[in-house]
Amino acid sequence: MNEMSELYRNSVRLWECDQMGHLNVQFYVEKATAALAVLEQRLGLGDDGQRLVAREHHIRFLREQRPGVPVRLMGGVLDVDATHLRVYLEMRHAATDVVAATFVARVELTDAQREQTLPLPDSARNQADRLLVELPPHAAPRGLELTPPATLPRLEQADAMGMVPTYLTPLEPHLVDADGFMTTRGYMGVISDAVPNLLVHLSSDDPSTRGIGGAALEYRLVYHRTPRRGTVIALRSGIIDVGTKAYRFGHWMFDAGSGEPVAAAMAVAVLFDLEARKAIAIPDDRRVLLEKMIVPGLVV
């Protein structure tokens, strides 16, 4: 096996941070996507509008990143076959080299219309073999099971299950690329913007005014379709289960016009003390409200 290669170096910008004061989840994904574009170039791909596109992500958030922090992404290829790569990336503090987040992505080469999966050229597969790395223990799943992706229902079926409506908006300009396709960041951006509409059911007041926020520890995302500019996106959300300190929730994303599923996500999250910058146990009153929103059959 090989040493990981540097595929991205930049810093955390203030406008990439959210109300919790740390890098928002969608910008972790955006930085990982930029690293994937560098890897694509090193594999000799990207001509004629072809792109390496993530079809699934498993992400672990190990340490929060605050404004101004220098970051870099290291990575390589875990395995390769005729049509897919499994790529590993990890975000590190560029000064201390401490790992902040890990990403495992199943990616494929698509045509310019993002509709057809293309075979990987022999030259790219040979180059990928030179970039093979091993998955480190700190990137392994902890609170989520990486089972084969489920077949998602249509929007009306999600409503019948009692899932909570958390988002309904035409694709916003900052969530599509120059060709009008939803970016990988876009999926996580929709989810991030939707979460307050799920958590509002936990309290009648704003929890941040009492010094309590939330933080994601782990995410799994499966991307089924690539919407285009003008698509109205609808999200349905629910709680999966509740532990002592952490809870799991899920989202199903739909094309509101057709009712067809677009993506699915599952996350492990904790309540977060904004002053101490650490996770806290779930209070009993919050636990009761979380458990009321459990949706049986919510899978990814």
Whole-number Å distance between alpha carbons of 36 and 4? 13
DSSP state of 145: -
Q: Tell me the average pLDDT across 206-225.
A: 80
The tens digit of pLDDT for each residue in 185-215 reads: 999 999 999 999 998 887 645 444 467 777 8
Domains of the chain in sequence order: 1-140 (3.10.129.10), 145-300 (3.10.129.10)
Element (H, E) at 217: strand 212-223
pLDDT score for 208: 46
pLDDT score for 209: 45
Average pLDDT of the chain is 93
Whole-number Å distance between alpha carbons of 276 and 290? 24
Q: Rounded to the nearest 5°, which phi and psi values hold at 13? A: -90, 155
The tens digit of pLDDT for each residue in 128-155 reads: 999 999 999 999 999 999 999 999 999 9
The tens digit of pLDDT for each residue in 260-275 reads: 999 999 999 998 887 8
198 φ/ψ sector (left φ>0, alpha ψ -120 to 50, else beta): alpha
Altogether, the residues listed in the chain come to a count of 300
Q: What is the pTM of this model?
A: 0.94
Q: Tell me the average pLDDT across 1-16.
A: 95
Whole-number Å distance between alpha carbons of 265 and 271? 19
Whole-number Å distance between alpha carbons of 191 and 74? 26
Identify residue 229 by its one-letter amino acid code: R
Identify residue 278 by its one-letter amino acid code: K
